[in-house]
């Protein structure tokens, strides 16, 4: 318990020192779409641009540093939003520092770096140790010092907002209760609660007919591979300017043929293939990259072309031919899959409806009265306890319950929860723990100060997100 509390305290402090701005879409929302001339801009902070190139570089670094093997997993974890959020926060700090004339000159930066313990030998700064660190982390001195300067600037701005915090017995008791609370619950999976939902034959047939996942549609594409022409001594700047111009045309929804003609592209055509990339009347897979196959079935009357980057090469693609076939035969396997999907949709709908009634007295008992065999019991001894059924965030929600209160937890699985008992485990109390609680009170005060500063920054600096460019970049990975 002690070690977990210390770790949590450090975590909160680090989060405050590094990034204040918490959630870009929750706080700022999505701004108006930019003009065609700003399609290389992914976001704007009070008139200052965040360019697509910077965002792409940061996103690539994030994928590499977090060792994501699958880009779709990174997107599910909202890495692309975290990266954009980080860039926006940096831009806000940069603007704020300019306005407040907070400057870190080269001499100040040098003094801070020389005081980093990792770069010392025998108590003195060692240039050799510094160079070793750069080599080991595969980073040049300019990149390291630029990044360090940004972090230092944030730290100075954040620390300028903190005041000496005063711990009171009231707040200390609140923190103590927070960490020493334990709770016993009853819960039921909504899939068990609504297991007897009937799915009609008509619902199955309609879903099968309308859902493209059960179609044998074939497509072929027109495509052009766009690489830097080194034989013609094409500079990198000119090459990426052409790519940017082509991207602007794609974003403006110009069709494939017009773009190919305008930029004199060498156009090729593929054979017909299905959504799995299998070639027509063959068990062989098309040589086209999987992401191209995926995008080919993403194109429609509204989105007629796409620009995709694959391993340093750029592909412009458009539809050549669509061959629509009858839906796949409705066998038992497909039927079972459809039933499960319809049930999930119905349960999600019932969960939304149930959420409006969750505060009604005895709602849990009323709903589970005929389903008691599916009800499970669980005792959570503290809010930091790991659990196989509930995520850490869900456990925090459970601990917000008072005795006899109910809660609906929504996610990949939906659960109805009731708090059977809530109490406090005072066996953990001792002098050492009391000191930790007092420290947490101080951190909590500091956090409240930073939340106020956070609100001030969000009101002061207006942020616009170019959603179309953001989507197109993330979809190209």
Q: Which residue has the higher pLDDT, 298 or 155?
A: 298
- Stretch 195-203: mean pLDDT: 83
Q: How many CB atoms lie within 10 A of CB 256?
A: 24
Contact 151, 18 (CB under 8 A): yes
Residue 378 CA to residue 387 CA, distance in Å, equals 10
Residues 6+ apart with CB under 8 A from 138: none
Residue 421 CA to residue 403 CA, distance in Å, equals 5
Tokens, residue 328 = 């796949």
**CA atoms in the 13 A half-sphere facing the CB of 194:** 21
Place of tokens 């156009």: 267
Provide the pLDDT for residue 70. Answer: 66
Contact 161, 449 (CB under 8 A): yes
Among 36-40, 51-55, 183-187, 210-214, the least confident range: 36-40
Q: Which of 90, 94, 89 is nearest to 21 (CA)?
A: 89
Tokens, residue 182 = 């334990």
Q: What are the φ and ψ backbone dihedral angles of 337, each rounded to 5 degrees?
A: -60, -45
Average pLDDT, rounded, for the chain: 77
Provide the pLDDT for residue 26. Answer: 35
Pairing, β 406-409 against β 218-226 = unpaired
Provide the pLDDT for residue 137. Answer: 78
C-alpha 276 chain-centroid distance: 27
C-alpha 117 chain-centroid distance: 34
pLDDT at 294 over 60: yes
Residues 6+ apart with CB under 8 A from 125: 114, 115, 119
Residues 6+ apart with CB under 8 A from 355: 408, 410
Q: For 218-246, how does the pLDDT look when each residue is reduced to its tens digit (9 = 90+)?
A: 899 999 999 877 666 666 667 777 888 88
Beta bridge partners, 318, equal 222, 305
Pick the CATH number of 2-165+441-476 from 1.10.4030, 1.10.357, 1.10.10, 1.10.510: 1.10.4030
Q: Which of 318, 299, 302 is nearest to 253 (CA)?
A: 302
Local confidence band at 35 (pLDDT 50, 70, 90 cut-offs): very low
| CATH top-level class of 216-323 | alpha beta
Q: Which residue has the higher pLDDT, 445 or 56?
A: 56
Contact 240, 57 (CB under 8 A): no
* DSSP letter string, 329-364: P--HHHHHHHHHHHHHHHHHHHHHHHHTTTTSTTHH
């Amino acid at each position: 318990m002690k070690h977990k509390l210390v770790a949590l305290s450090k975590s909160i402090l680090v989060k405050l020192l590094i990034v204040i701005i918490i959630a870009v879409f929750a706080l700022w929302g999505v701004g108006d779409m930019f003009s065609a001339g700003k399609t290389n801009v992914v976001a704007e902070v009070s008139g200052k641009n965040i360019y697509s190139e910077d965002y792409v570089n940061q996103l690539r670094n994030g994928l590499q540093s977090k060792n994501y093997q699958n880009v779709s997993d990174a997107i599910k974890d909202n890495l692309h939003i975290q990266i954009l959020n980080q860039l926006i926060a940096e831009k806000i700090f940069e603007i704020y520092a300019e306005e407040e004339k907070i400057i870190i000159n080269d001499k100040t930066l040098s003094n801070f770096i020389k005081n980093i313990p990792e770069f010392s030998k025998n108590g003195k700064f060692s240039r050799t140790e510094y160079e070793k660190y750069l080599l080991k982390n595969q980073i040049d001195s300019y990149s390291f010092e630029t990044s360090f300067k940004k972090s230092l600037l944030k730290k100075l701005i954040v620390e300028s907002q903190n005041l000496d915090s005063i711990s009171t017995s009231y707040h200390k008791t609140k923190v103590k209760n927070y960490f020493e609370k334990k709770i016993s619950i009853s819960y039921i999976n909504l899939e068990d609660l609504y297991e007897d939902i009937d799915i009609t034959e008509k619902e199955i047939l309609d879903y099968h007919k309308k859902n493209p996942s059960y179609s044998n549609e074939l497509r072929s594409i027109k495509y052009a591979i766009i690489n830097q022409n080194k034989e013609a001594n094409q500079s990198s700047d000119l090459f990426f300017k052409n790519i940017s111009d082509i991207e602007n045309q794609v974003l403006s929804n110009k069709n494939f043929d017009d773009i190919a003609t305008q930029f004199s592209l060498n156009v090729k055509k593929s054979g017909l293939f299905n959504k799995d990339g299998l070639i027509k009347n063959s068990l062989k897979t098309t040589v086209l990259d999987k992401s191209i196959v995926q995008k080919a079935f993403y194109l429609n009357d509204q989105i007629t072309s796409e620009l995709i980057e694959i391993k340093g090469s750029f592909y412009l693609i458009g539809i050549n031919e669509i061959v629509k076939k009858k839906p796949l035969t409705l066998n038992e396997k497909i039927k079972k899959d459809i039933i499960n999907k319809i049930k999930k949709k119905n349960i999600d709908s019932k969960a939304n409806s149930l959420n409006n009634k969750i505060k009604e007295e005895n709602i849990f008992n009323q709903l589970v009265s005929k389903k008691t065999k599916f009800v499970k019991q669980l005792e959570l001894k503290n809010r930091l306890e790991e659990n196989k059924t509930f995520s850490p965030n869900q456990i925090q929600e459970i601990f917000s319950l008072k005795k006899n209160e109910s809660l609906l937890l929504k996610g990949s699985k939906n659960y109805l929860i009731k708090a059977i008992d809530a109490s406090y485990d005072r066996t953990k109390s001792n002098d050492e723990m009391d000191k930790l609680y007092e420290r947490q009170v101080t951190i909590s005060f500091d956090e409240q100060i930073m939340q106020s500063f956070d609100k001030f920054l969000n009101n002061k600096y207006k942020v616009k997100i170019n959603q179309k460019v953001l989507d197109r970049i993330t979809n190209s990975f």
